[in-house]
Amino acid sequence: MEDQCTVRTASLGARPGPGRASAGRPVRRSDGLVRWRGGGAVAVRELLISWEPGGGDLTGRLTRALRAAVREGRLAGGVRLPASRALAAELGVSRGVVVEAYERLAAEGYLVGRRGSGTRVAPGVAVERAGAAVRAPAAEPRYDLKPGSPDLGAFPRTAWAGAVRRALQGAANRDLGYGDPAGLPRLRRELAAYLGRVRAVAAGPEQVAVVSGVGQGLALLVPVLAGRGLRRIAVEDPGSPGTLALLRAHGVEPVGVPVDQEGLVVRELAAGGADAVLVTPAHQYPTGVALSARRRTELARWARAGGLVLEDDYDAEFRYDREPLGAVQGLAPERTVYLGSLSKTLAPGLRLGWAVLPGWLAEDFREAKRYADLGTGAVDQLAFAALLESGGYDRHLRTVRPRYRARRDALVDALRAHLPRAPLRGVAAGLHLYADLPPGVDEAALAAAALRRGVRVATVGPGRLTPGGPALALGYAVLPEQRLREAAELLGQAHREVS
């Protein structure tokens, strides 16, 4: 059986300091590993190579080990290798063994040596690992109107950095350990207070669980509900393609319930035999309609009769031409799971969200979270709690609302000029709008024609469970007004091409 010798080195890609040998020097640690220090090195890099102790052909074995590290990409192009004398000392061989191995690999094109620069890995010689296809990232379109992201340039970096600093300064040591999988008490208290104040959510901190976004919340809920006998989940039709894919990936075939100008047609729930229903009542995706007061009452009545509402409140913080609507959860708190996240208000890359559970589901959900990942990262939880406590989160929302409203106005005006035969819906709130296309227009063909012009849009067809008219969902949060006008003009050109 082959043993491995570990070489830990700062001289891999590090520059020597003034007056020091570029080779670096080995420093033995109490754990038996070796750290190589090059003069003035800032980062310590490590290299694990296979080494067969004893036996002959030392040069051949070292050559094969280094060649394998280069071919597998563990030694990337441009990385500097330890000096021959230093590596020889660590491996317990003569310097000539290392020199000859380096020379062989240089002759084969794996290494290059330059005076004053040491021996480095030649660029472009790594071979892909078996089964690991490496794909170049697709070029981003110039105009991205696909819904799903806020303006990432508006992320409050200074406020967030300050929140992280304050949170860490005030954090107890136990906050950085394995804590409650449902989240840190400090954030759960702040969330319960914030959601009660802003969204009329009726819940205490013990009912709040911190999750890595709404997607994880749903992924955890599906098996929890199945364990309670709630297996038939209804969804809005049309709805989110991503949500449909997530439910199917977890063994659920969604039941479609139609959406009209008042939102979800609640009377269809009983007809479909649904145990639970996933809804977006504040700003339905993709139509943008808000669930009417009459339908909210009907939905709460259906829930209290034994159903369960899964409320995705994904962009309720943004409204422009109507009064704010409270969460449905407040009408039937013991029969509603309320889900939200920072993906539309701050950034999806934070992977921070929450689930508010009825008391009878809270412990089951908490255990599901425990066995999924032991809990969400503590530092981001502390930072968000600090942002809520300081009012920084409210200030951020007050800052971006007028920006998003101006962008919405620019896109609406431009679409009415360049796509006049496409009525617009859902413009009063949210971060996207819905454009009904004229009958007979192929929405996929229109999207392809728009993409050729550098405009990315989302078609509604992939989110339908039953046939419907052609339509597009168009996000406006990412682009400034002038670029939204340009995108609308190009979209109009694409429409004329396919009509």
CATH code (residue 24): 1.10.10.10
- On the question of a cis peptide bond just before residue 470, with omega within 30 degrees of 0, the verdict is no
Judge whether 130 lies within some domain: no
Say which CATH number the domain at 481 has. 3.90.1150.10
pLDDT of residue 52: 59
Give the closest residue to 143 by CA, choosing from 467, 494, 483, 498: 483
Q: Which residues does the chain have with pLDDT short of 70?
A: 1-55, 116, 126-137
Tell me, what's the pLDDT at 86?
85
Q: Are 70 and 168 part of one and the same domain?
A: no
pLDDT at position 272 is 83
Residue 56 identity: G
Is residue 45 domain-resident?
yes
**Looking at residue 45, what is its pLDDT?**
54
In a domain, 440, yes or no: yes
Q: How far apart are CA 208 and CA 188, in angstroms?
A: 6
Same domain, 384 and 263: yes
CB 422 within 8 A of CB 415: yes
**181, 255: one domain:** yes
Q: Are residue 466 and residue 349 in the same domain, yes or no?
A: no
- State the pLDDT at residue 28: 43
CA distance 155 to 161: 11
User: In DSSP terms, which residues pair with 319 in a beta bridge?
Assistant: 429
Is 136 part of a structural domain of the chain? no
Rounded to an integer, what distance in angstroms lies between the CA atom of residue 339 and that of residue 294?
22
**In which domain, by residue range, is 251 found?**
152-394
Q: pLDDT value at position 16?
A: 41
